Structure formats: C-alpha cells, structure tokens
Amino acid sequence: MGVFKKNKSNEVEVLISKASDELSTVRFTEKEQAQSHCIKAVQIMRDAVAIDKKNSRAWEFLCRALLGIGEMEEAKEAWKKARSLEKDEIFSFTPFNNEIATNYPIMLEELGEIRIAELVRKSYTAASPEIPELWLDLSNFYGRIGNRDQQILTLVNAARSTGDMNLYIALIELLVGAQAYKAAEDAANEAIQKNPETPMAWSMKGWVYVEAGQPEKSIEFYQKAIEINPDDFEARYRLAFAFQQLGRTRESKDLADDLTKKHPENTDAWNLLGGILYEQGKLNECETAFRKAMELLPQDPIPLGNLIHILKEQGKNQEIGILEKRLKELG
C-alpha cells in the first residue's frame, strides 16, 4: 500500500483561507480585537511560508497580516519575497482594515514600486469614491512624485463629483501655488455653486483675489462668508488682513481687536493685531501682542522674530541676545 504525501499547495491554501477569515473579521471589530485577529493571521501565514517558501500567495498574505499590526519592515521583506516569485504579477489586494489600507501603498512607495502604489490608491478611490480622504491621498501621491498635472486633474474630478469642500480647498490652494489664478477663481466659483451656505467657499474666492494681488476684490466675498456665519474666524481674519493690505487700518484693527477678544488663545489673531499696531506706530502695544502670541505658542518662530524686531526698534536690548538664541534653536 503506497504512502500518500501531503500536497503542500493544498495545505498552504487552507492556511491562507484561515488567515483570510481572521483578516476579514477585522472589518467588524474594535481596534484591540482587530489587532488580535491580525496577530493570529501573522502566525498562520508564518506557518504557511514555512511549509512552502515558494508560494507567492503565502508571502503576499503574510505581508497583509504584518501590515495589519504595523510591522512595516517585516511586511516589506514578505512583499519582496512574493514579488521575486511572481515578478510580473500585480497583486489583487483587498484592504481588510484601515491599518492595512493605509500602510500598503506607503510600503510600496518606500520600496520604489510607484506604479503599483498608484494602482492601489486608484483602486481605493474606485471602490469608495464618496470618501474625500482617499482622493486627497491620491492627489498628494501625485504631488510627491512630481506629477502636478495629474494631481490637479485628480482634485478637479473628485471635487466636481463629490462637491466636497475640503477637496475644493486643496484644489484652489494647489492652483494658487502654481499662480494659476484664473483656474483657481473658476474652482472657487464651482465651490460656491456646490456649497453656497458654506462660509469657507466664499472665503476661498476672496483669498484667490488677495493672492493674485487684488485684495480690493476680496472684500465682498469675505463679507458674504461673515453674513452666513458672523462668528466665522477664518473669514474675519482674512477680511482684516485684506483691509490691512488696502491701508484700511482702522477697520483692520477693529476686526483684529475683536478676534483677540473672542479667540484669546489664537496665535494668528495676536500676530495679526501686532502687525497692524506696528503699521500704526504703536510699538508698545505691538510688543504686547507679539509677546502674547509667543506665550501661546513658544515653538512658533514668527512671533518670536517679530518681537525681536520690535525690541530692536525700541532700543530694548536686554532680552535680544536670549531671544535670538532661542530663535536660532527653533531654526
């Protein structure tokens, strides 16, 4: 009677199925329980690769499980092994949970597998086109690899299809950064059309004009944003800045004073007020504003640098050496 040998391939497939069950369970559990299932999947897949070191699927699933517990370096090694066995295969990768979905394309980028990293991210947006964060991630990926045209196109298509304000903000900021002011204005108009009751949509259009060197055109859009929400900090801050650029210092200071009263813990408000007071020649009050900003955010070099400048103008040299040393430490 013959001796039957175990079929390694079948044995490994059984283990892959068990690991897949563990990873699938992750979708419906809390984080701690999910970690436990991923650890079990790692143990199962380590057994699988020990049985058949030439099974690419076993290495691929080990990679997935390792990503689930944040073991990026070991996951890279498992993925490299899988790729060495199936050089031409583009893996069909199911993101079992957020940890795996997030870590997988990051791992691919770090390994220099840019094309596959792109395909993975595109598969995520195709599977869940309603999630803005996935589009932002894909757009940022194109930015990192220097493909600005595709970065812009991704945001254009995503913003138009979802109407999401965060996508419009990212698009407008990108276009302004490229000095494509007309395109940025068009994007802001779309944002307003799709989000007419959102103050930020109106503020972004005002900001485009400020960045384009036309602050006088921005005022009505900031005022519209404030009309929608009288307490909107961003719109009020930007309106004060626009007034300052236009030399309307009284209106600018009134807004800045109000911002510091309503948002006393906001560094930007104190920095803005300090700048306005400096233009008005009120150096003592300006010094107080910059000190308050520095007190709120000691690691911010902007108020620190401003304070040093004001102290030098006033001839108050006692602190300057210490403050300059701190500024140098902050870089």
Among 22-31, 148-157, 204-213, the minimum mean pLDDT is found in 22-31
Q: Are residues 35 and 115 in the same domain?
A: yes
User: Do residues 115 and 151 both lie within one domain?
Assistant: no
Confidence (pLDDT) at 59: 93
Answer yes or no: is 4 within a domain.
Answer: no
Is residue 233 in a domain? Answer: no
pLDDT, tens only, 81-130: 998 887 665 555 665 667 788 888 999 999 999 998 999 999 889 988 99
Whether residue 103 sits in one domain with residue 14: yes
Whether 236 is covered by a domain: the verdict is no
Question: Are 159 and 73 within one domain?
Answer: no
Q: What is the mean pLDDT of the chain?
A: 91
Q: Where are the alpha helices (DSSP H) in the chain?
A: 8-25, 31-51, 56-68, 72-85, 98-110, 114-127, 132-144, 148-162, 165-177, 181-194, 199-211, 215-228, 233-245, 249-262, 267-279, 283-296, 301-314, 320-330
Domain presence at residue 43: yes
Range with the poorest average pLDDT among 33-42, 154-163, 164-173, 196-205: 33-42
Residues 207 and 290 in one domain: no
**CA–CA dist 277, 252 (Å, integer):** 10
- Residues of the chain with pLDDT > 90, as a percent, come to 73
Same domain, 254 and 327: yes
Average pLDDT of span 193-222: 97
- Both 193 and 294 in one domain: the answer is no
Task: Quote the number of domains for the chain.
Answer: 3
149 domain residue, yes or no: yes
> Residue 325: inside a domain, yes or no?
yes
For residue 109, give its domain range. 10-85+94-119
**Do 102 and 172 have their domain in common?**
no
pLDDT confidence band for 71 (50 / 70 / 90): very high
Please name the amino acid found at residue 313: E
> Residue 273 and residue 265: Cα distance in Å, rounded?
13
The CATH number of whichever domain residue 35 belongs to comes to 1.25.40.10
pLDDT score of 6: 55
Q: Are residues 253 and 176 in the same domain?
A: no
Q: How confident is the model over 233-265, as pLDDT tens digits?
A: 999 999 999 999 999 999 999 999 999 999 999
In a domain, residue 192? The reply is: yes
Clarify whether residues 17 and 108 are in a common domain: yes
Instruction: Tell me the C-alpha distance between 140 and 98, whole Å.
Output: 18
Query: pTM of the full predicted structure?
Result: 0.82
Same domain, yes or no: 152 and 79: no
Look at residue 76 and tell me if it is in a domain. yes
Are 151 and 114 in a shared domain?
A: no
pLDDT band per the 50, 70, 90 thresholds, residue 5:
very low
- Going by pLDDT thresholds of 50, 70 and 90, the confidence category of residue 1 is very low
pLDDT in the model for residue 25: 77
